[in-house]
Structure 1
């Protein structure tokens, strides 16, 4: 989900993680941060866990995405997919994978 907060563009990654694209002191930043729920107001607020990347560093990260994906593939299936596959196989004799194909290492 994308939303606009003043001049920032905000993208939810999951319930408590967000990416904000913003300008700070004239520098474009990509801020990846974990949020927490304020107990008083029940409002999500930015926490300490996170990182702000300059536009140049963000572009360097994107340029290395294939290498990063290859490194992830070498580690094996992600946990959520592995759990879903176990559930599917327990329910039937034939396990099918309708998700995107992953490269074998």
Structure 2
């Protein structure tokens, strides 16, 4: 009786492997409604720092942050860019406590 060829064994074992999800198309994303994005914008408190840079107090996933970010213009709307930093309340307090030291260093070096 002939032995099964290695090709057959390899092909039959490859069919047993996990080929990934049966449905290769991801579910359609729900479009964000204007109300949700408007509400988030209305809830944010912001201060202009000039040249499309803003400091904002915002809530994200139940936590509050100070977001200092550069924005860009898209058809008259300002959208947040990648350039920026989002500080936790703990980080914000640390920064505030060091403002006097930072100011002194600036006066000495500038």
Task: Indicate whether the TM-score tops 0.5.
Answer: yes
Per the alignment, residue 63 of structure 1 pairs with 97
Q: Please list the CA deviations of residues 14-60 of structure 1 after superposition, one character each: whole Å capped at 9, or x if unmatched.
A: 1310011011111110000001112xx13211110000000110011
- Give the aligned length: 71
Per the alignment, residue 42 of structure 1 pairs with 76
Per the alignment, residue 43 of structure 2 pairs with 7
The alignment's TM-score, normalised by the length of structure 1, stands at: 0.63
5+ long unaligned stretches in structure 1: 77-105
Per the alignment, residue 29 of structure 1 pairs with 65
Q: Please list the CA deviations of residues 37-96 of structure 1 after superposition, one character each: whole Å capped at 9, or x if unmatched.
A: 12xx132111100000001100110000000001111222xxxxxxxxxxxxxxxxxxxx
Relative contact order higher in (CA < 8 Å, ≥ 6 apart): 1
Work out which of the two has the higher radius of gyration on C-alpha atoms and give 1 or 2.
2
Give the CA RMSD over aligned residues: 1.5
Give the structure with the higher percent helix.
Answer: 2
Question: Once superposed, which parts of structure 1, at least 4 consecutive aligned residues long, lie more than 4 Å away?
Answer: none
The alignment's TM-score, normalised by the length of structure 2, stands at: 0.60
- Counterpart CA distance in 2 for 1:50 and 1:14 is 14
Give the structure with the higher percent strand.
Answer: 1
